[in-house]
Amino acid sequence: MSESSSICLVMPYFGQWPFWMPFFLQSCRFNPSVDWLLYTDCQPLDHCPENVRVVQISLNDYCRKVSTKLSIDFSPTKAYKLCDIRPNAPNLARHCHNSISKQRNGLRAWKAPGRIRIPLIRM
């Protein structure tokens, strides 16, 4: 992830990558000032740009981390329900991922996309 980035988009995505994922990665490649942190159980991505970090994790393990970090019982049966915790995704990423935590002070904003809608969370 880039040292000069001021925005990090955090996206849990479970299931299978959509057919348009190579186009998404190309878009990320052309926007090097924005970092992406993807939590997923999908197959590893080929030719991933430097500003995209993929964290391999199962949906169950991700939900366990959510439950622990937020002190709640979060056990959805479908990945779609991750939208319920979308406002907390940046906080979860900060606590769960050391490389992001180290960059935190330099970030202007964290975004937690859900179903491609991207709410802005300012720090």
Span 29-67, pLDDT tens digits:
999 888 888 889 999 998 899 999 999 999 999 888 888
62 located within any domain: yes
Residue 66 lies in a domain: yes
| pTM passes above 0.85 | no
In a domain, 1, yes or no: no
Does residue 2 sit within a domain? no
* pLDDT tens track for 68-90: 888 888 888 877 777 777 777 66
Instruction: Let me know if residue 99 belongs to a domain.
Output: yes
pLDDT band at 94 (very low <50, low <70, confident <90, very high): low
In a domain, 15, yes or no: yes
Q: Is residue 33 part of a domain?
A: yes
110 Cβ contact partners less than 8 Å away, ≥ 6 residues apart: 7, 8, 9, 10, 89, 90, 93, 94, 121, 123
Query: Residue 95's pLDDT is what?
Result: 57
Domain annotation covers residue 79: yes
What does the block give as tokens for 56?
Answer: 């391999």
Structural domain that includes position 105: 7-122
The domain total for the chain is 1
pLDDT value of position 5: 60
